[in-house]
Amino acid sequence: LADMQAEVLDRIPRLGAIEVAFAEAVGAVLAEDVIAPENLPGFENAAMDGFAVVASDLDQPSVELDVIDDVAAGSIPAAKIESGTAARIMTGAPIPPGADAVVPVEATSMTSEGRVRVLEPATVGDHVRPVGGSVRAGSLVFEAGLRLRPPHVSVLASMGVLPLVRRRPIVAVMSTGDELVPPSTQMLEPGAIRDSNRTLLRGLLTELGVEVRDYGIVGDTSGSFEAALGDAIDGADVVVTSGGVSMGAYDVVKLTLLERGTVDFLRIAMQPGKPLGFGTVGETPFFGLPGNPVSVFVSFEQFVRPALLGMMGAEHLFRDRVPGILDDGITTNPEKDVFVRVTTDRDAGGRWHARLSGGQSSNVLSALAFADALAVVPVGVGRVEPGGTVDLEMIHW
């Protein structure tokens, strides 16, 4: 498995860089470092509604001060604060010159003469947001390879920096098999199966933030597959198929592409997901995934997802793994890396625990739906006793 993952990542091209609008940046990967062009915030401002004061005036309780200004957010202070005076101030408003602290409005009361009575002491800097307190001008804010989440994009927007990111891959997907019918089919004929794989792949790809082109269900004839494949590679960066890559007499993907000699059909030491087709069709990377839905998922996670993130220039390509305790014992094939579908939680000591989420056959999609991690039983192990330690590859936290 590790050898094949390395080969895939070595052969996948990196896409070019483009500048995108803030609204389109979430999920994209930075193509260059972001250096702060200015301080954030660019001026001292109030962290709370209250009164801007000279902190040394408040060395005793219940001090009364003259209110000489009213500073709203977006306005400019009109007066300098000196000993014995204060300015009403709103959150985000500039700190008036001379003031060095803000007293929250809850710690004050107004007198009948219009003065403010401050009920608590203050120290210099209380509730004042300093210049550059969030980001310093000239500092490294984000490094290239970071996959942007909404808070990252918000920081970029606050600096007015449109991000330069790697282009998102365009991924063509299709399912193969004469037995497949659309998932909307209500009455199944004998031998027919609703196609769930494309729904799964589209969801995984959409979650990853790439552009998806769906080429539907392709029958088990070479002509049908050749035609669909020709359409798919026209404008796509990657093609992903499911089904037709194993040892059967009707495995159309394998039978068709073996003749081209640019796609290898391999048996990977992993379970589920042993059969895999990988190579290029023309210049387009091609992944031929198995037909069983859990095998599709595991193969996608181990090969397609990291490859697409690599094309986008991401530094972090694989799911996070954490050590956990497998409460259920399990016997696996010691010649393979085995991915066991599990549900997880944490005990009072913070340790992760995992239990089988259902049947472990590669067609049992329901166990995958209930799983939030894959417990990894590596080559050479073969048996994990109840209470044994495993790596948990987290699908959902």
Model confidence, pTM? 0.88
Beta strand ranges found along 72-169 (DSSP E):
85-89, 101-104, 108-110, 116-118, 128-129, 140-142, 164-166
Query: 60 φ, ψ to 5°?
Result: -140, 155
CB contact set of 262 (below 8 Å; sequence gap of 6+): 279, 280, 281
Residuewise pLDDT in 10s, the chain (397 residues)? 999 999 999 999 999 999 999 999 999 999 999 999 999 999 999 999 999 999 999 988 899 999 999 999 999 999 999 999 999 999 999 999 999 999 999 999 999 898 999 999 999 999 999 999 999 999 999 999 999 999 999 999 999 999 999 999 999 999 999 999 999 999 999 999 999 999 999 999 999 999 999 999 999 888 999 999 999 999 899 999 999 887 666 688 998 898 888 999 999 999 999 999 999 999 999 999 999 999 999 999 999 999 999 999 999 999 999 999 999 999 999 999 999 999 999 999 999 999 999 999 999 999 999 999 999 999 999 999 999 999 999 999 8
* 8 Å CB contact between 309 and 301: no
8 Å CB contact between 300 and 1: no
Phi, psi (degrees; rounded to nearest 5) at 171: -115, 125
Q: What tokens does 44 get?
A: 């001292």
Copy the structure tokens of residue 306: 């990291």
CA distances from 141 to 154, 191, 355 (A): 12, 57, 40
d(CA 217, CA 214): 9
Give first-to-last CA distance, the chain, whole Å. Answer: 25
Calpha distance 342→351 (Å, rounded): 15
CA 338 vs. chain centroid, Å, equals: 25
Distances (CA, A) of 235 to 79, 81, 169, 232, 282: 63, 65, 10, 7, 12
pLDDT at position 250 is 63
**Bridge partners, residue 393, by sequence:** 321, 374
Q: Which of 121, 116, 108, 117 is nearest to 58 (CA)?
A: 121
Report DSSP state, residue 376: E
pLDDT of residue 248: 66
